[in-house]
Amino acid sequence: MKPLALYCKSYSTDLRRVIRLAESVRSYNGEALPFYVSVPRDELPLFRQYLQSLVTDLIADEDILDASPSMNRALVAEMPGSTRQQVVKSEFWRLGLSQSYLCLDSDALFIRPFGLSDFLTVNGIPYTTLDEAHDLLDDALRRKRERVVSAFNREADLVQSMFGRIGRRYSFGPFPLVWHRDVWQSLDEHYLKPRNMSLVDAIAQAPIESRWYGEALLAYQAIPLLPCQALFKVYHYAWQYDQDQRHGIHLKDLSQFYCGVIFQSAWERDMDWPRDSSNWLSRTGRGLRRLLGRI
């Protein structure tokens, strides 16, 4: 079993983004770490057409779900896509392809050479992204986006209460994150099974998979906790990226601290496959909101 794999859960709308990610992996993956992409089974032909030479393997989401002995496929089918993909990403470990995996979203891309040491210690222990998100929350307050702060607090309190943990609110993100199979297994054995639950039930209660992983790590200590800051520079909002550009901060500068960057797909709709489906009025409005710093 490999010590680390790269993994991205995607779907057809994000095809162009995944191609961009895969090309960045090819450019900077000097240690030839395996790179897997999973998509719904009926979308495999499309992704094979464009990605066959860029990834280690393309996997059907359904094969990942089938690897779980307690998977409630009916409940998964009822979930919205954004929630369903959390289940798929969190169950990738069951395929037994690697001890740890870097869980990437389609809108990520690498900006410099990377290898095992960026994500694991020499003993194979992954670094865990953990802080209190003060940078994001401070920025939100300056922009008078109090809803960002209230959402963070609400999500943190929800999952902490399920584990009975009282204390500081942590952020176990942003993506991409390195996840170890032993942490997911400890969640299954110590939390889910005693309650006759599956991961699907857990995600249905609180659709924040990074918090389930993080709180399980704190509760059951399946691996040592080695905190790190974000692995990628994440532009949650377009105004953050535009602000950096105005200040002369470019990818070369960011590569001193980050392996890559993430451009949120919500404001990068021109990358949608096969095209941005919104009408011209919506596109114009989105462009205006970006100019005004509202997205």
**pLDDT of 69:** 87
Rounded to whole angstroms, the Cα distance separating 262 from 78 reads 29
**pLDDT of 67:** 95
**pLDDT of 267:** 61
**pLDDT of 74:** 87
**pLDDT of 256:** 95
The low-confidence residues of the chain, meaning pLDDT below 70, are 266-267, 276-295
**Residue 12, CB-side half-sphere exposure with 13 Å CA sphere:** 11
Cβ neighbourhood burial of 1 (10 Å; 0-12, 13-18, 19+): exposed
Q: Is the dihedral of CA 103, 106, 108, 110 positive or negative?
A: positive
**pLDDT of 278:** 53
**pLDDT of 280:** 47
**pLDDT of 118:** 98
**Taking the CB of residue 102, how many other CB atoms lie within 10 A of it?**
26
17 φ/ψ angles, rounded to the nearest 5 degrees: -65, -40
Q: Is 248 left (phi over 0), alpha (psi -120 to 50) or beta?
A: left
CATH architecture of the region 2-122+173-212+231-291: Alpha-Beta Complex (3.90)
Question: Residue 125 in contact with residue 182, Cβ under 8 Å?
Answer: no
**pLDDT of 286:** 45
**pLDDT of 86:** 97
Q: Which helix (H) or strand (E) holds 285?
A: helix 280-291
Question: Residue 51 in contact with residue 22, Cβ under 8 Å?
Answer: yes
Angle (CA) 238-127-137 rounded to 5° is 35
Rounded to whole angstroms, the Cα distance separating 86 from 207 reads 7
**pLDDT of 188:** 97
98-104 and 2-9 strand pairing: parallel
**pLDDT of 17:** 96
